[in-house]
Amino acid sequence: MKIYILIFFFLTFKGFSLDLSEINRIQNWELLQNRPVKVEWAIYQEYPISKAERVLNHNINIIASKIEDIENYPNIFKRVTSTERLDENIIQVVLNLPFPFSGRDYVINYFKETLDDGSWIFMFSSIKHPKARLRKNTVRLPNAAGMWILKPLSENHTKVIYAWNGELLGNFPDVGLTRAWITQGTEVLTWLDESIELKENK
């Protein structure tokens, strides 16, 4: 109950249009890939929502510290070309898409919370900000939204769930969306795991 109360006030005061807080109630997920990362998608609040899930062999606190370090995303997630903090809890993220597609960017306000059962969430959703300049040959995603859910299974095993609005807009063809979601879900969780492995092996 605590999570829903916190998210309700967060979304109400920030005016976000897409709320992923209840994605666990979605029943009609369509499986796109089972391994090495489980990737599914469904229509939720009229948007295509994708979800990637994998158990990582790392402590939940280490994983959480990586996810909340948004300004370091270009060193963690290879498709992120830049991140800029525009205000408190407000970040502009720029992504590189494969040729011939234009890059994408989104401006988000984020929220994080540790729950009583030891789980950890990180929610983000689009927001307009006067400092968010759109770069040349870049398409803005005005409905961007996502949610990280970390659930500790043991001291060094954590279930990681990443859900996001899968629309890409611009010149990206609809027929390529499912393949893009599989690629994105696999890459994001793989790069997160590799980033932690690299740090631990230094």
φ and ψ at residue 81, rounded to 5 degrees: -90, -30
d(CA 159, CA 153): 7
Give the Cα-Cα-Cα angle 122, 96, 84 (nearest 5 degrees): 50
Query: Can you give the pLDDT at residue 173?
Result: 84
d(CA 144, CA 166): 8
**Domain ranges for the chain:** 2-200
d(CA 19, CA 17): 7
Q: Is the dihedral of CA 199, 194, 95, 22 positive or negative?
A: negative
Amino acid (1-letter code) at residue 151 = K
- The series of mean pLDDT values per 10 residues for the chain, 202 residues long, is 44 56 86 97 93 97 95 95 94 89 92 89 93 92 95 97 94 88 97 89 64
Give CATH superfamily name and number for 2-200: START domain (3.30.530.20)
CA-atom Rg of the chain in angstroms: 16
Amino acid (1-letter code) at residue 113 = E
Q: What is the pTM of this model?
A: 0.88
Query: Can you give the pLDDT at residue 163?
Result: 97
Query: Can you give the pLDDT at residue 150?
Result: 97
Query: Can you give the pLDDT at residue 171?
Result: 81
